[in-house]
Amino acid sequence: MKLYDCAMAPNPRRARIFLAEKGIEVPKVEINIVDGENLGPAFLAINPRGLLPTLVLDDGTRFDEVMAICRYFEELYPWRPLLGRTPVERALVECLQRKAEFEGMIAGSEVFRNQHPKFVARSIPGGGAQPIPAIPGLVDRGRQTLARFFDWLEESLTASPWLVGEELTMADITAFCAIDFVAWVDIGIPDSHAATRRWHTRLAARPSASA
């Protein structure tokens, strides 16, 4: 198998941290998103949507969504679980990692892509080579959503050291990657959000953070 990756991009990082926390090594191929290598003919032949990360199995089966890749490895290598230990925990991880994805990662992507000159025709990912114009109104909407995201995180992490259960799960990984991503557009954890700052420091100190 091969994991098509992009070292600086936030979604591939979610998969890399997940794999590092489980101690799984997968051969990687680096693709440069900023320069548009993911929308060039060579990569579009592998994934017509141009999305990263993409996992291709030896028989050619392709998984082009972070959570599909993580779910696949969680089934193959159940230990150490990062998607929850019980049916209730697994459903909560699904809810909260998705909330972190929509209100953190995707809101951040709205702010970043709709104001960055390199993404002027790539307003959302997944369109392949078809131009998708930037929509400046999404920048403010994204910022508004991120403010909610930070308040929700602070409330959750004041109540408990991790977002779901007694230890790190994918919900934390997605929220952590979203925070480091939105730093690109100069949005950070508000100074008053002490619990979130402590949690971020703990996550940043784990070896997986540099995966």
Decide if 177 contacts 170 (C-beta within 8 A): no
Compare residues 35 and 140 and give the one whose CB is closer to its own copies. Answer: 140
Compare residues 67 and 209 and give the one whose CB is closer to its own copies. Answer: 67
The minimum distance between CB 205 and its own copies, in angstroms, equals 30
Q: Which of residues 99-158 bind its own copies (CB under 8 A)?
A: 99, 102-103, 123-124, 126-128, 130, 132-133, 135, 137-138, 141, 144-145, 148
Amino acid residing at 1:
M
Q: At 2, is the secondary structure helix, strand, or coil? A: strand
Compare residues 158 and 210 and give the one whose CB is closer to its own copies. Answer: 158
Exposure string over 10-32, b if 16+ CB within 10 A, otherwise e: bbbbbbbbbbbbbeeeeebeebe
Q: Which of residues 14-43 bind its own copies (CB under 8 A)?
A: none
Alpha carbon distance 58, 119 (integer Å)? 33
Compare residues 61 and 158 and give the one whose CB is closer to its own copies. Answer: 61
**85 binding its own copies? (CB under 8 A):** no
Alpha carbon distance 107, 130 (integer Å)? 22
Which one of 1-9, 62-70, 159-167, 185-193 is the stretch in contact with its own copies (CB under 8 A)?
62-70
**162 binding its own copies? (CB under 8 A):** no
The minimum distance between CB 87 and its own copies, in angstroms, equals 4
Beta-carbon contacts of 17 under 8 Å, excluding residues fewer than 6 positions away, are 173, 176, 177, 208, 209, 211
**Residues contacting its own copies: total by CB under 8 A:** 40
Compare residues 82 and 209 and give the one whose CB is closer to its own copies. Answer: 82
Phi, psi of 78 (to 5 degrees): -60, -25
Decide if 153 contacts 82 (C-beta within 8 A): no
Phi, psi of 2 (to 5 degrees): -135, 135
**Site for its own copies, rule CB under 8 A:** 49, 57, 61-65, 67-69, 71-72, 75-76, 87-88, 90-92, 94-95, 98-99, 102-103, 123-124, 126-128, 130, 132-133, 135, 137-138, 141, 144-145, 148
